[in-house]
Structure 1
Amino acid sequence: MPTQPAPTDPRPRDASLGRTLWLAAEFVALFAVGPLLHYAGVLRPPLLLVIWVIGLAALALLWHDPTFDRRSLWRLGGTGGRVGAMLGRWAVATLGVAGLTAVFLPDRFLWLPMNRPGLWLLVMALYPIVSVLMQGVVYRSFLFHRYRDLFPTPTTMIPAASAAFAFGHVIFHNWLAVALTAVGGVLFALTYHRTRSGLFASMEHVLYGNMLFTVGPGVYLVMALSDR
């Protein structure tokens, strides 16, 4: 007579469910509620301060997590073969954005380098350090590691990371910024997924960000940031 399998201990499942619910609530609070409060004017801390406070907190959590590979923050080994493809995508995107901007937003085409060259150079130099550095930590290194159980497959993680990145830009009150960062979010998340290199994904982020500031659409972000 076959024996009946022993009942499984419900405690691990309960603990797993509890952790999943906690992570889901944390994800929504950080990547949805926070930007919405800023968008609605309920909270208006300086944006760069917010980026750095959250980024440093995320970095501290990762640094003290024994399951996190710290080398993924800066390693470039194995990414050499992807440089050509990354630059090719960027070149095509640059031509496309330049053409669309010249046709549909002609007053913004090359506005920043032509009208505010000093500010443009400042943005080119500081944007990678002041903005992209911590965004890379939060939206890629931290998000991919912290919420890997919530989004366990690339088909769930990449859309989640892209949506979080795009929705974070509602604070600019400009839906073009949200649309552009949704596309960028997919590209950067895919790059991080394929390379597991935060630095390489951030390099791609810098290329696209500085391109947008130069060609035209990014000027809306500069203006919005200066207003806040």
Structure 2
Amino acid sequence: MSQTNQFRCVEFFVLFIVLPVSLAINFNVWIKVGLVASGFIYVLWVLRKSEAIKFTVKKNIDWNAFWRRLGVTFLMVVIATTSYVWFVDKEALFFVPKTNPMLFVFILFVYTFLSVWPQEIIYRTFFFERYEVLFKNKTLFIFINAIVFSLAHLFFRNTLVLILTFIGGIIFGYTYLKFRSTTAVSIEHALYGNWLFTVGMGQMLAFPGMEPMS
């Protein structure tokens, strides 16, 4: 293994294993914020300097294929999650949009631009462009991405969150490898995440405005 690839392995371990696990440990929250911010700045720096990524919307994407695929998967998500909330806690179904529409719209905006976009920069754009050289098997590559994406949500200490983010990681990883677009995968991620908030599963993802699910 070359020195460059050895460095990438160490980098991968620190950014995608050590850092997420540390966030699940109890220590000063501002130190955690500083660690996350430092990691994100490092990711942006590497993308610009080493990977020569330009943060522009790609024009040569088959958007028709993307929207067709998204329509099918989103319909499945809508049916599954609506059924889940209906049977687990019917009172939570569409709770925030019904009771606090202004908060609902505000959270959709904040989540999309301040949570989804940074996550996709780190876990799709950086991860796939930086570590693809280390993996010959694309299926294994996507699986590993889903594992570390789920690990990033370990601090929620919620098994359902870990399962959902693992499934999301599989979907988002496939989308990025197929379309090579941060914009496309961010749209997909935002749609699913915002839907979970909309349908009434926001509390488990720390969205505000939800009454505790019974």
- Normalising by the smaller structure, the TM-score range is 0.7 to 0.9
**Matched residue, 2:10:** 25
Change (3 A) 1:116 1:49: farther
Q: 24, 29, 44: which is aligned to 1:59?
A: 44
Which runs of structure 2 are paired with 1:120-199 in the superposition (5 Å)? 120-199=104-183
Change (3 A) 1:160 1:76: farther
**Matched residue, 2:103:** 119
Question: Normalising to structure 2: TM-score of the pair?
Answer: 0.85
SS at match of 1:70: coil
SS at match of 2:29: coil
Question: Normalising to structure 1: TM-score of the pair?
Answer: 0.81
Deviation at 1:38, TM superposition (A): 1.4
RMSD: 2.3
Deviations 1:33-90 (A, max 9, x none): 212211111353387776554333212211112x54426x521422312212212211
Mapped contact 2:23–2:32 kept (Cα < 8 A): no
Q: Which runs of 5+ in 2 are unaligned?
A: 209-214
Change (3 A) 1:203 1:51: farther
SS at match of 1:77: coil
Deviations 1:7-33 (A, max 9, x none): xxxxxx5xx1x4444322321221122
Deviation at 1:91, TM superposition (A): 1.6
Counterpart-to-counterpart distance in 1, 2:34 and 2:168: 23
1:91 and 2:75 aligned: yes
Q: Which runs of 5+ in 1 are unaligned?
A: 1-12
Mapped contact 1:52–1:134 kept (Cα < 8 A): no
